[in-house]
Amino acid sequence: MKLTDEEQRMLDGQYGKAVSMAMSILTKLGQIYGAEEMMPITQVHIDSTFFQLLGDAGLEFVARLVHCDTEFCVPTSLNPSARDIKRWQEFRVPPDFAEKSKRLEQAYLRMGANPTWTCAPYQNGMIPRFGQQIAWAESNAIAFANSVIGARTARYGDFADICAAVTGRVPKFSLHIPQNRSGEILLRLQTSDLIDFGDDSIYPLIGYIAGSFAQERIPVIEGIPNTVSSDNLKALSAAAASSGAVDLFHILGVTPEASTYEDAFQGKEPTQIIDIGEEELLTARRNLSTVKEGKVDLVVIGCPHASFPEVKQLNQLLGGKKIARGVELWVQTNRVVYHWLKEAGLLESLSFSGVKVTTDTCNLNWPRNIWDNWGFRLLVTNSGKWAHYAPGLTGLQVIFGNIQKCVEAALKGEIREG
């Protein structure tokens, strides 16, 4: 692999052990993917923040970097931690687990990361620009940054994200290269009276279908109105990156690299054309639920982390009513949105209704024993990503529904088919 003099000095240890180790890992990654050279990046989003996924070995890796006085050399944001940093006790997180999470959190802050603790950094504080070369981890954020913003990142996993922040370099490969960003398959939404773009739950369903068909290919979607919101595209990105390994999608007339059909496919023809109608949407909705009805224990909103308008809508739908006894309603968001909710007086109203707003974390990634402590059996969510992963990760039954259905389930304590 061809390295610049500066990169060679990094690898040779002239900037210390940590930089040398990080450079060595990244050059090996580049060799695996056939990259010929390294390239600079100007922003990193680290996903290696869930202690339980990294384990003690991961904690040791990060501690070793801190021991070498390592500092991140580009602006670096952080995915959610394994615990709500302020309210972990309220969520029944065991103290030993919280302590290890804290050590990981503090290590990143020592190295200069921005304490965003969110999986939607693109909505608050760390927003890349079109064409910017970045190194992001966290699948929904990768898909959103590439597709909706037009920034350029490959799919970085745990540890590679840290190494990118330490060196400010990544291999030149994958979606960093413009020619690798052309659409490959075409999904045509068949408009009909039954397809309701005013119902936000259509977007995770479209994403889920796109990911299922595309797998590792780049889908181009036709038929989404250009009034689609950032929150809708967030939900679509998360679902597409869950049912498939979608790191980039284009939406004709909506996303920045797809203003025309020719742009989206870079002058080539799609290798496959798939029509999506009501039947496919209904099938996707069925597939995202493990049961059709039942007594509800938990309702989860905010995967990816909820924006201010999303929480405001939830509060409006609750209309000052209290959720049913025995039901938990959790909203996951970041501290910036939390602050705005407080300033706007919405926290009080949510709390009156029995809603728990949690920041800095993602409960889906909890170890199984915390879920067992809660004793839940059935959860309801409006997130395609949460619904996709929850049965395997939490052991719970899941029903996917729109936000109205989620609120109804929380207020009644039960959900019926329909």
- Do the Cβ atoms of 169 and 19 come closer than 8 Å? no
- Do the Cβ atoms of 4 and 36 come closer than 8 Å? no
Task: Show contacts with ligand F3S in window 321-350 (CB under 6 A).
Answer: 332
Q: CA of 289: how far to CAs of 210, 241, 352, 401, in Å?
A: 18, 18, 29, 9
Could you please report the per-residue DSSP string of 309-373?
HHHHHHHHHHTTPPPPTT-EEEEEE-HHHHHHHHHTTHHHHHHHHTEEEEESB-GGGS-HHHHHH
Quick one: which of 169, 385, 388, 405 contacts ligand F3S (CB under 6 A)?
A: 385
Shortest separation between residue 361's beta carbon and ligand F3S, angstroms:
8
Q: Is 119 in the site for ligand F3S (CB under 6 A)?
A: yes
Give me the count of residues in the chain. 418
Q: Is 182 in the site for ligand F3S (CB under 6 A)?
A: no
Bridging pattern class, strands 38-40 and 219-222: unpaired
Shortest separation between residue 366's beta carbon and ligand F3S, angstroms:
10
Q: Is 220 in the site for ligand F3S (CB under 6 A)?
A: no
Nearer to ligand F3S, 169 or 385 (CB): 385
- Contact segment (CB under 6 A) with ligand F3S among 1-9, 163-171, 271-279, 303-311 equals 303-311
Q: Is 244 in the site for ligand F3S (CB under 6 A)?
A: no
Size of the site for ligand F3S (CB under 6 A): 12
Q: What is the DSSP letter of 146?
A: I
Quick one: which of 362, 370, 380, 410 contacts ligand F3S (CB under 6 A)?
A: 362
Shortest separation between residue 4's beta carbon and ligand F3S, angstroms:
35
Give the end-to-end CA distance of the chain in Å, rounded to a whole number.
57
- Contact segment (CB under 6 A) with ligand F3S among 82-90, 153-161, 254-262, 299-307 equals 299-307
Q: Is 80 in the site for ligand F3S (CB under 6 A)?
A: yes
Q: CA–CA separation, 269 vs 141, rounded Å?
A: 28
Q: Is 246 in the site for ligand F3S (CB under 6 A)?
A: no
DSSP 3-state assignment of 301? Answer: strand
Q: Is 211 in the site for ligand F3S (CB under 6 A)?
A: no
Residues forming the site for ligand F3S (CB under 6 A): 80, 119, 140, 238, 303-305, 332, 362, 364, 385-386
